[in-house]
Amino acid sequence: MCGRYTQTADARTLAGRFRLAKLGVDVRQRWNMAPGQDAPVVYVDGGRRLGLHRWGLVPAWAKDPTIGHKLINARADTAPDKPAFRGPFQRRRCLVPADGFYEWRKMGKAKVPVRFTRSDGAPFAFAGLWDEWTSPEGGTLRTFTVLTTEPNALVAPTHDRMPVILTEAAEDAWLDPGAKTAELRPLLVPYDASAMRASDASSKVNAPRNDDPSLLVPDEPLQPELGL
């Protein structure tokens, strides 16, 4: 799964990278994006748009928005057929800008957060789905989920899933409103491991309230106690 990620690019960088005429929303750097928080997503509405959507998809037909807590990820192989994701897969696909994601590897009884990025550190896009939910009072809530796939060779020792990172060449096809499911499935594959790198991060990532550059600095290794 993908449960935390980073998006540290500034607004100007995002606008250029994703060919946005204007941002339309305030974007701030994030070192610990967590489910339930609002995050920037790129979607098509007469052209590319950037919106702030809540992480955790709430289907338009849902009676209770808390279902979003369970729908932060969608398996790429089954999403086109699942009731919660079928509609968004057909007509509400999006790009989720990021520049890294975290998974946790076991070290004895501890779990160490590992940040996976592109080798060049550049921004990229997760394949995402979004939807709009209307409350009984008439308010609207836009939410999204991140698609996941099998891990590549770099991620596999740490976790059995990884988010779908689209190649830049695939992003237009993913956003194309006319694209068919059969055309989209080949895009949802593990990213090239040779174009990625992994680095340990701080255990402060474990708490969503922590969100600053210090999270990218790994913890000091524990020093063995000296016998007297």
Active site residue 183: no
Domain residue limits, the chain: 5-101+121-194
- CATH code, residues 5-101+121-194: 3.90.1680.10
- pLDDT per residue as tens digits for the range 82-116: 999 999 999 999 999 999 999 999 888 889 999 99
Question: What pLDDT score was predicted for residue 210?
Answer: 98
Provide the CA 215 distance to its chain's centre, in angstroms: 18
Catalytic residue among 103, 132, 150, 225: 103
- Sign of torsion over alpha carbons 214, 68, 128, 114: positive
Of the listed ranges 24-28, 42-46, 60-64, the one predicted with least confidence:
24-28
Q: What percent of the chain lies above the pLDDT cut of 70?
A: 96
| Cβ(169)–Cβ(186) below 8 Å | no
Q: Over the chain, what is the mean pLDDT? A: 93
Q: Give the model's confidence band at 171: pLDDT under 50 very low, under 70 low, under 90 confident, else very high.
A: very high
Active site residue 2: yes
Q: Give the model's confidence band at 25: pLDDT under 50 very low, under 70 low, under 90 confident, else very high.
A: confident
Question: What pLDDT score was predicted for residue 79?
Answer: 97
List C-alpha distances in Å: 62 to 15, 84, 135: 33, 9, 9
Question: What pLDDT score was predicted for residue 222?
Answer: 53
CA separation for the pair 35, 140 (Å, rounded):
18
List C-alpha distances in Å: 37 to 14, 15, 111, 142, 183: 19, 21, 23, 12, 31
Q: Give the model's confidence band at 228: pLDDT under 50 very low, under 70 low, under 90 confident, else very high.
A: very low
User: How many residues in total does the chain contain?
Assistant: 228
Q: What percent of the chain lies above the pLDDT cut of 90?
A: 86
